[in-house]
Structure 1
Amino acid sequence: MGLSGPMTWWDPALCEMLVDRGFYVVRFDNRDVGRSSRGQGRVTRATLVRAFTGRKVRAPYSLSDMAADAFGLLDHLGLDSAHVVGVSMGGMIVQTMAVEQPARIRSLTSIMSTTGKRTVGWQHPSLLTNLIGRAGGREAYIRSSVAIWKRIGSPGYPVPDEDVEARAEETWDRGISAAGTLRQMVAILTQPNRTPRLRALTMPALVVHGLADKMVHVSGGRATAAAIPGAELLLVDGMGHDMPVALHETFADAVKRTADRAR
């Protein structure tokens, strides 16, 4: 899942659709969110701003470390390989998995993500304060969640405030860390440009992106699909930086279609 998103952000209904299509679904909390362990290292807001502007900073951990976490989970589960699907930061993680250990990736699906190249997939600077301002307890977190999803959600598939509030309550109760979110953000902002390595991939790949995404511009999705040989690019009108329920069947069908190409 993406930035500060626990495994519960993978909607059970979508997971069940994937099960109906023959998959065994594994979802998990990334480090620094949910019930996974918290990272080490303090990230100040000044550090975050320096990283955002492209200046060199020391990250507590990298996307490669987060990819290694996912491989470690596969090892623990006794799985040699898997079809991997990642959203936003999760898309960056699964891309990293694919370039670092391609033999273990059966198919790759990258959703509303980017290659790490700074000239694509940009985020509007006005969103930065929304992302780093989630402190002050449970109620403040819920209020800020509603505010940010109003800005980055899908204009063509609006979500009622009460649904956003319910997810925020669930996220808070599962475990959310403001310091952890900052560490994840620095991992994102210091990621390398994977484009040259993506060009060497041979597994089936799917890239999904919303045309109304304000968090990761659609140029990130287009660049990802252009870099991976034979990748399918699925652009969705009216989709922002979320996964609307109305599109779950579309997502499940596309993931299945991509996995079938691996046979």
Structure 2
Amino acid sequence: MRDEYQNDILVFVTTSVAANGIDITYESFGSPEGRPLLLIMGLGAQMIQWDEEFCGLLAEQGHHVVRFDNRDAGLSTHFHDAGVPGRGGPAPYLLEDMADDAAGLMDALGWTAAHVVGASMGGMIAQAFAIRHPDRVLSLTSIMSTPGPAVAPPSQAAMAALMSPPPADRAAAMEQSVRTWSVIGSPGYELDAELIKERAGRAYDRCFDPAGTARQLAAINGSPDRREKLAGLHVPALVLHGEADPLVPPAGGQATAEAIPGARLVTYPGMGHDLPRALWPDFVAEITKLTKG
């Protein structure tokens, strides 16, 4: 599958490829001659959570940007036969398997190595990727993430918002998304309810699979703490984290930065568990500083 889209910002291409035994759908931004940069998104989130304009800003800085749907999200393979994991039961796959998906995607792209950027669960996958495939990581950026779920437990309100019952239809999904981001988002920045609704509607239209999100959550909870193995990395690393994050509190970012030798930690007052538009220029500048070496 290959579709090309154009908006006022840039042209981007949607493609589906076989990788690590599954199908992965991805989109690319910028020149193929640019510095390869792989964006990995978080729990239950589709690749469109990486805003096209944000991807365009990274492309303008000389990156060849690729965002993709993780397994059990969006248009990539869903593990329907695995059902919904029972409480305390075995996870059908782990974050390490999702990291190998990313490696398989890089194989399909012809990338020997790349700058790897992950947000939330995507940061956990990026960490696992760096541990499993260190020779394929040019740099590692971990955003609002943690080396293990026990390191920085979420607030009760954040967990309650995350575990709300699945919405009944598209309209309910849009409204629920606003309620969720009102709890876990950035209190220091204005909530863009219309953008949240629009993106939630797009996500619902692309794929609605609450069971897939449950399987991803089981992968998080079933995967080992990564601090010991992160300590053995020798890659340029950046950790970005909000000081007001209720879902992955700042201790998660601090532990990540402390575990990776030489990692740079940058925190933002008023930032919660999202990527406020006002901070995009700073995120792009920090990531670009790292990828340029």
Q: In which range does the TM-score fall when normalised by the shorter chain? A: over 0.9
Q: 2:255 maps to which residue?
A: 223
Contact kept? 1:211, 1:237, Cα under 8 Å: yes
Alignment of 1:71 onto 2:103: yes
Query: Deviations for 1:150-186, whole angstroms, at most 9, x for unmatched residues?
Result: 0000011122321211111111112121100100111
- Judging changes above 3 Å, is the alpha-carbon distance between structure 1 residues 117 and 175 closer, same or farther for their aligned structure 2 residues? closer
Which aligned pairs between 1:220-259 and structure 2 lie closer than 5 A? 220-259=252-291
Structure 2: gaps (5+ residues): 1-40
Query: Deviations for 1:45-71, whole angstroms, at most 9, x for unmatched residues?
Result: xx34x4xxxxxx300110011001111
Contact kept? 2:159, 2:247, Cα under 8 Å: no
Contact kept? 1:85, 1:110, Cα under 8 Å: yes
Look up the SS of the partner of 2:182 in the other structure. helix
Look up the SS of the partner of 2:127 in the other structure. helix
Q: TM (normalized to structure 2)?
A: 0.83
Alignment of 1:43 onto 2:74: no
Contact kept? 2:58, 2:284, Cα under 8 Å: yes
Contact kept? 2:46, 2:73, Cα under 8 Å: yes
Aligned counterpart for 2:161 among listed residues 130, 135, 143? 130
Query: Deviations for 1:116-159, whole angstroms, at most 9, x for unmatched residues?
Result: 161x2211234334323223121221121111100000011122
Alignment of 1:142 onto 2:179: no
Look up the SS of the partner of 1:5 in the other structure. coil
Look up the SS of the partner of 1:254 in the other structure. helix
Contact kept? 1:117, 1:192, Cα under 8 Å: no
Contact kept? 2:138, 2:235, Cα under 8 Å: yes
Bigger RCO of structures 1 and 2 (CA < 8 A, at least 6 apart) = 1
Contact kept? 2:161, 2:183, Cα under 8 Å: no
- Judging changes above 3 Å, is the alpha-carbon distance between structure 1 residues 206 and 177 closer, same or farther for their aligned structure 2 residues? same
Q: 1:6 maps to which residue?
A: 46
Look up the SS of the partner of 1:25 in the other structure. strand
Aligned amino acid, residue 217 of structure 1: P
Q: TM (normalized to structure 1)?
A: 0.92
* Residue 42 (structure 1) shift: 2.0
Q: 1:60 maps to which residue?
A: 92
The separation in 1 between residues aligned to 2:269 and 2:64, in whole angstroms, is 30
Contact kept? 1:117, 1:194, Cα under 8 Å: no
The separation in 2 between residues aligned to 1:116 and 1:60, in whole angstroms, is 18
Q: 1:54 maps to which residue?
A: none
Look up the SS of the partner of 2:67 in the other structure. coil
Aligned amino acid, residue 47 of structure 2: M
* Equivalent residue pairs, number: 251
Q: 2:152 maps to which residue?
A: 121
Q: 1:30 maps to which residue?
A: 70
Contact kept? 1:7, 1:28, Cα under 8 Å: yes
More helix by share: 1
Contact kept? 1:4, 1:176, Cα under 8 Å: no
Contact kept? 2:157, 2:183, Cα under 8 Å: no
Amino-acid identity (%):
46
Alignment of 1:154 onto 2:194: no
Query: Deviations for 1:8-38, whole angstroms, at most 9, x for unmatched residues?
Result: 1111111111111110000000011111111
Look up the SS of the partner of 1:113 in the other structure. coil
Contact kept? 1:33, 1:177, Cα under 8 Å: yes
Contact kept? 1:32, 1:38, Cα under 8 Å: yes
